[in-house]
Amino acid sequence: MTTLLKEEFQEGIKEYEEGNHLTLVGTGFWISSDVRELTIGLEFNHKHYNFEYDSMEDAIDTFFYILTKRKKITNYSKGLRIFKTKVEIEIKDEKPIDFGTTFTLPLQFWKKTKTEITHQDAYIATEKVIEVWKELINYAQQTVK
């Protein structure tokens, strides 16, 4: 998997904490792990997957969906300050997957809320990663049994 990512991301992969935290330079996408959980993030939005309680298949799917699908990012602002950001992953012909929402208190609460929607294209074509995706799902299924 690392070889594929290095080939696809010319700007590179930055490693922190002895490889326990990786970021794809220029994308906002990151992944981190410790002894308890795997965390997958896009900018400030992120999801935690506990190795003991959560489905690693869901974590693998989320990882690959962020890489291979278009993301819809909705920013809500009051005045010049964004106070809420919602990220959805667009899956063809299906309802978008809610990846997460970050929220802070709007300091200018009396101002009208403005909404700005942007889209972030897929980073990698699905066809390029499908075999690795299947291998990781298979591995996750075997380790759970």
Band of pLDDT at residue 145, cut at 50, 70 and 90: very low
Domain range summary for the chain, segments of one domain joined by +? 2-123
CA 48 to CA 51: how far, in whole Å? 10
Write down the pLDDT at residue 105.
85
Using a pLDDT cut of 90, give the percent of the chain over it.
50
Write down the pLDDT at residue 93.
81
Torsion, Cα 130 134 135 140, to 10 degrees, reads: 140
Determine how many CB atoms are found less than 10 A away from the CB of residue 76.
16
Can you name the residues that pair with 23 across neighbouring β-strands? Answer: 14, 30
Strand order in the sheet with 97-103: 97-103, 81-90, 70-78, 113-120
CA 5 to CA 86: how far, in whole Å? 26
pLDDT per residue over 1-50, tens digit each? 556 666 777 677 888 877 788 888 888 999 999 999 999 999 999 999 99
Strand order in the sheet with 13-16: 13-16, 21-24, 29-33, 37-42, 45-50
Task: Name the strand (E) or helix (H) holding 58.
Answer: helix 56-68
pTM summary value: 0.83
